[in-house]
Structures are given as C-alpha cells and as structure tokens.
Amino acid sequence: MRDSTLLIISVFFLLMANSLVAYFYDGPIYDSTAYTECKGQPEEPLYRGGIFKNAEEQSQGVELQVEDSIGYYTPSFVLNGLAQDTIYCFSIWVRIEGGNSSSAPIRATLQTEDKIYDCIGTVLAKRGCWSFLKGGFVLDSPSHQSILFFQNADDTDINIAVASPSLQPFTWEQWSINQQYIINTKRKRAVTIHVANSKGKRLQGASITVEQVSKDFPFGSAIAKTILGNLPYQNWFVKRFNAAVFENELKWYATEPDQGKLNYSIADQMLEFVRANQIIVRGHNIFWEDPKYTPAWVVNLTGTQLQSAVNLRIQSLMSKYKGEFIHWDVSNEMLHFDFYEQRLGPHATLHFFETSHKSDPLATLFMNDFNVVETCSDVNSTVDAYISRLRELQEVGVFMDGIGLEGHFTIPNLPLMRAILDKLATLGLPIWLTEVDISKTLDKYSQAIFLEQVLREGFSHPSVNGIMLWTAFHPQGCYQMCLTDSNFQNLPAGDVVDKLLQEWETVDINGITDEYGSYSFYGFLGEYRVNARYGNRTANSTFSLSGGEETRHLTIQL
C-alpha cells in the first residue's frame, strides 16, 4: 500500500463503479503494514511519519518535540493541536537497552490536559533488535498539548530506544472510504454475464435477473436453549444469520454436570435446528481454563483421575459430533487461566489439541481469548502475548489454525483494533471475531453506535473470515447486549445488524445485455441464481462468486 498514487486511482474508479462517491478521493490511504519479527534495523516510518514529518516541515502548524526524561518515561513526544473526533494511527519501532531483561512489554500512553489514554499500543520489545509497535487513539476532546510516552508495562525501570515514529490522522469520512475500498475489493467481485443463442451468437437486449441466494461471509450470533420451541425467535434468527454458536450448551458443566452422567439432549436439539436451516455452527468449547466455569467435580480431581476425565470428555464430545462443527475452541481463555496446565503439566494443552485434531481432522481448531482487540491494557492478552503463546504451542507440535478474538467491547478504540488485526494477519491464519458485544454499562443507543463501529472494522479487514455476535436471547436479559425485546422487535443494536446485513448483500439485479451481449455488475461473494430472457426464450443458471482479482465470467445459452 505504499504506492499511494496507484491506490488512490483504484479507489476512485472502484467507488465510482459502485456509485458510492462522486468525487476524487485525495486523502490518506490506510497502511496495513505490520511486523511480528524483531529486526536488526527499523523500517522506514509508515506514512513517511505523518504528523511527525509534517511537524518537521511545519506544514500543519503542529509542533513536535522530543523530550529526554528519566527512567521508563524515556523518550516522550510532545504533540500540539490534536483534534477531537479524528482517528490517529500510530506506529514506532522500539528496542530496550541495558538492564538484565532480554525482553519487556512496552506500553505507549497518551496524556492530554484532562485525560490519560492508558494504552494506545503495546509491543514485547527485545534487547539487541527492533520491535514494531502499532496502535492509535481517538480523543474525546481537542488537546492543545499532549504527551505521548512509553513505559514498561510491569512498571520496572528500563531504558527504551525508539525509531521511525509515525502519527497519521484520518477524518471519519476518510476512514470510512478506506473501509469501503477493502469491502469492494475483498468482499465483492466483478461479474460479467454473457447471453448467446444456441449457435454462440451474443444477444443484445436480453433481460437479466440476478438474485443472491446465500452469502459467503459467515455472520452470526450465539443462540441458547431459549430458541427451542420458540418459533418467533427461530424465524427472527434464520431470516438474518448464516452462522451460530451455542452460548453454554456444549460446555463441560452443561453436558456432564455430574461425573459420568452425560446429557447432550439440549445440544442435540439445537443442532437439529441449525442443520434444518443450513446454518454453520462453531463448537464452543471443549475445555475452559477458568476453574470458575469448570465442573465442580472436575476441580476436585487430580493426577490420573483428572487425566482420565479429560480423555473421556474429548472422546465423548468429538466422537458424537464429528463433522458437525466447523470450529472448536479447544482450550478457552488460556492466556488468562491455566487450570489444566497447573494440574496436568505444561503440555496439557498440547494433548488437548492433538487429540481433538485426530478426533475431527476437518474442524478448525481455535485459540480463543478476550481483551486481545478490545484493549492493550491487559498484559495477559496483548497482541504479542497472543502471538507468543500461539508460537509456543506450534513449536511443540500443536495443530492449530484459527485465531479467535472474543470482542467484548465497552468503547472501542478503532485504530488500535485495526492495528492489532494487522499484526495478527501477518501469521497467515484465519481470524474470527467470536463473541462480539458492547458492555451493558452503556445505554442501548450507545451500544448500537459502538456495535456498528466494531462490525464495520471487522468486515472491512481482509483477514477477518467471520463474525459472531454474543447476543443469545434470554427473556430476563442477554449476557451484555440484546438485539431484540421479548417480542422480537428490534432494539437499536438489532437495527444496526439489519442495516449492515442489507448493506453487505447484493440486492436483486435487473438489467439488459449491451451490444456485446453482456451485462456486468459487482456482487458480494456468495451463491447466485440468474435468469436470462430473450423474446419467448428463457434460461436459468446458478453460479458461485468466490474471492478473486479477475472478473467472473458466466455464459448463458438460450
């Protein structure tokens, strides 16, 4: 994305082709570059430094100073004239110097006149090489003078060196245009339908009708046993979603509350519902590392008894449901809890993944955790903590091919979320937002606003392969956020979901072939039906629209 001129032209023509804007976009192009490896020399700054470069040139009236402070506040940048409601993307290369530690979690913090933004980016920096920190922030109010500084996240004194800083502002409109560019290029594809007679002659003036019958991108929600026998809930759900996950009904405490007394009846009924409606479903979860949600009888086991119980859990669950669930969250929230590894040793997780893969080799196995994209203040689940844990497991032979990010947000930091997704994308594994919701500490209208922001971020990131909401319906109230009331009338968050579902599908298309016997359009990826009519002759066809750079060509013969 460094060739900004070419990309600007591409954005312009693609947006024009989709009738999205009618003017030339000359704003900044989002740079998704990220690095996970530690390098001998830092790379050049993104956006050529952005405001930092502009400050040196005094082109925007923004002054930049570098202060040499003491201890873990070294160095720091003083920024003048930061605006409200502007999305600032920040990146820098970091190295630690001196001391006894070979690595340290370094946190970037922004302090304005009236607020401290505790963490706008973090990196596990090392001694002797440079590590890449990427993040960002949005201010609640304008700031005359702010200080951006770095410190060891565990508050111990350490010398920090930085290089190639970059701070690039985006207006909300610019951010939206960049999102839409990715959607148009990664979630959609050009299609040309050719109509010909039996001799192959192209027919001008043939009528074309195109209907999208299914979507390629999985977008769904958690469901609970409350959906069983509840026809209004079922109808509401099926009308919208093509993916599901059981909220609690597959968890160990639900399927075996007492040792040896297995009960899959509720899960079986829920599975019948999703099967009948051709809905894909994630398996959540095999084990949960938090002892609070581990069956009481399991907590009391040790040694060979616990190992035997673990083996039986995997065997019974995976043999019963082999081929039914597209994913399994194997050992849930292992960045925050380690019940099984404490009891069974450091290779317990390896055993879980190995056995699960052998039991259902076609299911994608996920590492699933919270506070990875929601914040960078949780030292247990920073992006580098996630990557380090994943690599540790891979090094000992764990077969894992999915990155699960829960996404329980309060007020989302969008540039930070995007930066973390960029960094995880370098691993080349499918990324899913697995449990998206907005905290119930906010009112329903604020929930809706922030939900839309999060969903747009997820859908417009090319490495996100699916989105699941954590909004299973309960009459007494959902976990954090409901989409409907008890009569299945949309709440504000439900209206947002409906709006985006409509926006992210190809509306029925009616057109006429041109002088070349062709008709072209851009469509969202998925399955389509097409009807061609010429005079009294008609023909029907179907086609799949999968990802690709080239135009998808389809010929219909009458």
Q: Which residues of 86-106 are buried (b: 16+ CB within 10 A; e: fewer)?
A: bbbbbbbbbbbeeeeeeebbb
Helices (H), 400-555: 414-425, 444-459, 492-503
Amino acid, single-letter form, for residue 496:
V
Catalytic residue among 249, 256, 289, 435: 435
Contacts of 269 (CB under 8 A, 6+ apart): 225, 228
Count of positions (residues) in the chain = 558
Q: Specify whether the CB–CB gap between 413 and 375 falls below 8 A.
A: yes
Tell me the torsion sign for CA atoms 221, 255, 257, 328: negative
Please state, in angstroms and rounded to a whole number, the distance separating the CA atoms of residues 317 and 97: 50
395 is an active site residue: no
* Residue that the structure tokens 């008890």 belong to: 486
- Going through 188-345 in order, the beta strands assigned E by DSSP cover 188-196, 207-215, 219-223, 243-246, 280-288, 327-332
DSSP bridge pairs for 464: 431
- What are the tokens at 113? 């006149």
Q: Specify whether the CB–CB gap between 493 and 454 falls below 8 A.
A: no
211 is an active site residue: no
Reference 400, options 363, 365, 352, 357; nearest CA is: 365
- What are the tokens at 162? 């930085």
Task: Give, as one character, the DSSP assignment of residue 235.
Answer: H
Catalytic residue among 333, 374, 406, 457: 333
Reference 93, options 59, 61, 55, 123; nearest CA is: 123
Dihedral angle at the C-alpha atoms of 38, 42, 46, 51, nearest 10 degrees? Answer: 120
The C-alpha angle 381, 384, 390, rounded to 5 degrees, equals: 80
Amino acid, single-letter form, for residue 549:
E
Please state, in angstroms and rounded to a whole number, the distance separating the CA atoms of residues 266 and 282: 16
Q: Which residues are catalytic?
A: 333, 435
